[in-house]
Amino acid sequence: MASAAPRPIGKGTKVLLWLCGVLVLIVILMRLDDMPKEAAPSQPAPATSPAPTAAGNISTTTLPDSNYATNALLAARKEGLARESAELADPNKTGTIDPIAIDPYTRADFPDVVRKWGKLIPTINRERKAAAEIASRDARCDGVDNAQITGGGSRTDRHYMTECHNLTRIYFDAKSLAEHRAAVVRTQADMGAQGLLDW
C-alpha cells in the first residue's frame, strides 16, 4: 500500500501556529521582566553637597530622587542641569529686576489675588518688591524676571517666590523677608532632579 502524500497545511492551521508562536514570545518576555536585574557596576559615590545653612540657603540638595537608579546618575543629571542653568545666565542682567516682575497687583489685572488678600494688597506689593530686590543681589540669580505671592502661606506668614532669568527660584516667608534673606534657593538643577517646590 502506497503511503499517502502529506496534506498541505491549511490557512487556519497557519494562523493557529502563528498565534501560538506569539503567545510563546509573550510568555518569554514576561518571564524576562520577572527575572532579577543584574546589579549595576559599583561607582564611587558622588560628593555630597553642603548641608543647608542656618539661614536656609541651599543651592544644591542630597535628597534622593526616585527617577534615578543610582546617586551617581542623579548627580550627573544635576551637574548637566547646572551647566545648562549657567549657560542661560545673562551677566548683563545681574542685579536687575524686570519691571513687569513687580507690577502691582490690581483688581483689574489680578481679581483673584485681590479677592483673596483684600486690604493686604498694598503690603503685598511692597513685600514683592522687597523680595525681588533681595533676590537680585543673590549671586545665583542673574536678574529677577518674576516675583509673586504664593498660595502656600497665610495672612500673617505670606510666602513669595521670585524667579531669575536662569530659572533659579528664590523663596521667602515672613521671617526671612524681615531678615532680608532667602528662606530657600532652588536652582534649575534642583528642580530638574526633584520637581517644583510647593511653597
- Contact yes or no for 105/114 (Cβ under 8 A): yes
The predicted pLDDT at position 59 comes to 41
The predicted pLDDT at position 37 comes to 55
Q: Residue 153: helix, strand or coil by DSSP?
A: coil
- Contact yes or no for 170/56 (Cβ under 8 A): no
The predicted pLDDT at position 117 comes to 94
The predicted pLDDT at position 55 comes to 40
Round to whole Å and give the CA distance between 149 and 114.
11
Residue 36 has pLDDT above 60, yes or no: no
Report the alpha-carbon angle 145-115-133, nearest 5: 25
Round to whole Å and give the CA distance between 1 and 51.
92
- Contact yes or no for 178/134 (Cβ under 8 A): no
- Contact yes or no for 90/171 (Cβ under 8 A): no
- Contact yes or no for 145/93 (Cβ under 8 A): no
Listed in sequence order, the residues at least 6 apart from 131 whose beta carbon sits closer than 8 Å to its beta carbon are 147, 160, 162, 170, 172, 177
Encode burial over 71-86: b for 16+ CB neighbours within 10 A, e otherwise.
beebbebbeebbeebe
Note the pTM of the prediction, 2 decimals: 0.54
Give the tens place of pLDDT for each residue, 67-111.
556 667 666 666 665 565 555 555 565 678 999 999 999 999 999
- Contact yes or no for 109/64 (Cβ under 8 A): no
Over residues 141-165, the mean pLDDT reads: 92
Domain residue spans in the chain? 71-194
The predicted pLDDT at position 56 comes to 40
C-alpha torsion angle, residues 50, 52, 57, 58 (rounded to 10): 60
Report residue 34: phi and psi, to 5°: -80, -15
Give the tens place of pLDDT for each residue, 160-190.
999 998 888 899 999 999 999 888 888 777 7
